[in-house]
């Protein structure tokens, strides 16, 4: 069964990832490396597209059109990857993914019905990264990607990663205006950013005049889309040797940034840096 999600930004996100995978497969096809594609939030392989979002001006009844999801897109890449690992926590979606095996009998596909963070930690330890290169796509709905997962990917020195970061949908919403943030939300922010520095980055203290006490200190939120993006890209730069200068901003129909699609490469060699920077740049010029 197809899986309904996303908006106009979904098209843009998947077109960038598709272009990158196609160019990556071409660029590495004559090298001896085993190529692995890891889709950590794989969905079902298909998605239903909400046409009202893409055609807002037409007075048509809502209808859904089935479009390709990231797993199917990756399986269509030619030359293919030697190994596909499709991770999905929801059991029904993971079972839908299994249907792709009969559709793509020549592809080496593994379905992992587990939490993406646990599955990636295991893969990063199991795979021989001297002889393997690959691409990971982290496409969560919210702030499910833990910092430890990114640290594990960076530690392979062999993987490229496209990570969808919910700067507007996730981060900005958890950063409340008053700075009074429920404990659980604070832990989510710590876990996904790998630091507590978000507090000093996005809040400042101001002295506010007070009728009785003279003045009183007040916490003021100091965050805007550019600041949120810079913070996340700077965090990635602390662990990856290459991080694309700017992310792909995925906006809704009101032009508000919902997600940032960010690229990083774990391979520290100057050759890999030059190649992946070029490919990621091309992939985003759609």
Instruction: Pick from 18, 35, 47, 235 the residue near ligand SAM by CB under 6 A.
Output: 47
Number of residues in contact with ligand SAM under rule CB under 6 A? 20
Residue of 11, 115, 190, 222 that binds ligand SAM (CB under 6 A): 115
Q: Which two tokens stand for residue 123?
A: 């893969």
* 25 and 70 Cβ atoms separated by less than 8 Å: no
Q: Which of 36, 87, 109, 193 binds ligand SAM (CB under 6 A)?
A: 87
Q: Between 270-284 and 8-28, two packed helices, what is the crossing angle to 10 degrees?
A: 140
Closest distance between ligand SAM and the C-beta of residue 98, in Å? Answer: 14
Residue choice 12, 20, 37, 69 for contact with ligand SAM (CB under 6 A):
69
| Sign of the dihedral through C-alpha 283, 131, 268, 243 | positive
**242 in Cβ contact with 281 (< 8 Å):** no
Segment interacting with ligand SAM (CB under 6 A) among 35-43, 178-186, 191-199, 202-210: 35-43
Rounded to a whole number, what is the largest CA-CA distance in the chain? 77
CB of 166 to ligand SAM, least distance (A): 10
Query: What are the angstrom distances between the C-alpha of 1 and each of 6, 40, 225, 243?
Result: 16, 19, 35, 36
Measured from the CB atom, is 116 or 280 closer to ligand SAM? 116
User: Can residue 33 be called a binding residue for ligand SAM (CB under 6 A)?
Assistant: no
Give me 118's structure tokens.
């646990």
Choice from 20, 41, 84, 165 touching ligand SAM (CB under 6 A): 41
**Residues composing the chain:** 286
| Interface with ligand SAM in residues 129-188 (CB under 6 A) | 139-141, 144
Is residue 90 a contact point for ligand SAM (CB under 6 A)? yes
How far is 18 from 13, CA to CA, in rounded Å? 9
Window of 36-44, 168-176, 232-240, 265-273 that interacts with ligand SAM by CB under 6 A:
36-44
Among 116, 163, 174, 233, binds ligand SAM (CB under 6 A): 116
**Least CB distance to ligand SAM at residue 33 (A):** 24
Query: What is the crossing angle of helices 225-237 and 183-193, to 10°?
Result: 50
Which CB atom, from 141 or from 282, has the smaller least distance to ligand SAM? 141
The closest of 106, 141, 103, 150 to 13, measured between CA atoms, is 141
Q: What stretches of the chain show up as alpha helix (H) in DSSP?
A: 8-28, 51-54, 70-76, 91-103, 116-126, 147-156, 172-174, 183-193, 198-202, 225-237, 270-284
82-90, 150-158, 181-189, 265-273 -> range binding ligand SAM (CB under 6 A): 82-90
Residues binding ligand SAM (CB under 6 A):
3, 5, 14, 41-43, 47, 69-70, 87-90, 93, 115-116, 139-141, 144
């Amino acid at each position: 069964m197809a899986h309904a999600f996303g908006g106009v930004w979904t098209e843009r996100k998947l077109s960038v990832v598709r272009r990158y995978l196609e160019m990556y497969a071409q660029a590495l096809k004559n090298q001896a490396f085993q190529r692995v594609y890891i889709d950590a939030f794989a969905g079902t392989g298909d998605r239903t597209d909400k046409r009202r979002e893409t055609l807002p001006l037409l007075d048509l009844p809502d209808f859904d059109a089935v479009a390709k999801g990231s797993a199917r897109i990756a399986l269509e890449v030619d030359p293919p990857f030697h190994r596909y690992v499709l991770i999905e926590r929801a059991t029904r979606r993971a079972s839908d993914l299994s249907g792709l095996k009969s559709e793509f009998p020549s592809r080496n596909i593994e379905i992992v019905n587990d939490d993406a963070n646990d599955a990636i930690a295991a893969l990063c330890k199991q795979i021989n990264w001297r002889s393997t290169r690959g691409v990971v796509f982290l496409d969560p709905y919210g702030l499910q990607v833990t910092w430890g997962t990114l640290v594990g990917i960076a530690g392979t020195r062999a993987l490229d990663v496209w990570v969808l970061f919910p700067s507007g949908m996730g981060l900005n919403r958890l950063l409340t205006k008053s700075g009074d943030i429920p404990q659980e939300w604070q832990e989510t922010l710590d876990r996904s950013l790998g630091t507590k520095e978000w507090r000093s980055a996005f809040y400042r203290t101001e002295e506010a005049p007070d009728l009785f006490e003279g003045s009183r200190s007040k916490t003021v939120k100091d965050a805007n889309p550019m600041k949120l993006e810079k913070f996340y890209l700077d965090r990635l730069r602390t662990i990856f040797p290459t991080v694309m200068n700017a992310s792909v901003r995925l906006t809704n129909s009101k032009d508000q940034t919902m997600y940032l699609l960010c690229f990083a490469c774990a391979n520290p060699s100057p050759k890999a840096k030059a190649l992946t920077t070029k490919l990621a740049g091309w992939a985003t010029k759609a």
